[in-house]
Amino acid sequence: MVFSFFSTEFNPRKRKLRQQIENNPYYRFQSLEEIAIAAELGIKIDVTQATIDDLLRLPGISIHQARNLVELIQTGVDILSIEDMSAALNIPLSRLKPFSSILTFSYYDPDSLVTPKKININTVTSEDLQQISTLSKDISQEIISDRQEKGNYKNLVDLQKRLKLNATIISELMHYIRF
């Protein structure tokens, strides 16, 4: 086997970058070289299910753009290609193409029993919450009452702390709700 003089094995800077990327699942890529290393490591970001933090890993993507894309996807907009992502973010395709080695675009059937439809915890009614089989009527009503009294929930941690829900309930609930 012939090694390039600049391969990872002989390049301490590249080896260090590789270790940082490999050991930190939220590492924010700073360059196309880092994107290439991530691709070598098999790192993929499924845009269809990406969180804001996932999208912020991409160089040059702002928090505003990441939020907008996640919100669009949550409202049912299908982003099934890098061209769709480009159009949704109003970013030139040429700026996103270098990321294509780590981006995937999947289709998830919203009517599938495998992918439960997520409801917005900050707008849902008690009756709709009770459609979640693992949630009791008491907890459903407590969620609504607390939301009306103290305002919208920021995230799962906020919901768990405010209602003092145990880990089992949160583990089941997180598959059915969004914020």
> Which pLDDT score is estimated for 1?
47
Rg of the chain in Å (alpha carbons): 20
pLDDT at 42: 94
**DSSP secondary structure of 5-27:** TTSGGG-HHHHHHHHHHHH-TT-
The pLDDT assigned to 4 comes to 47
* pLDDT for the residue 75: 81
- Residue 34 CA to residue 17 CA, distance in Å, equals 7
Terminal Cα-to-Cα distance of the chain (whole angstroms)? 52
Which segments of the chain have a pLDDT < 70? Answer: 1-10, 110-116
Global pTM reads 0.62
Task: Specify the pLDDT at position 91.
Answer: 93
Alpha-carbon distance of 57 to 138, in angstroms, equals 40
Residue 101's pLDDT is: 96
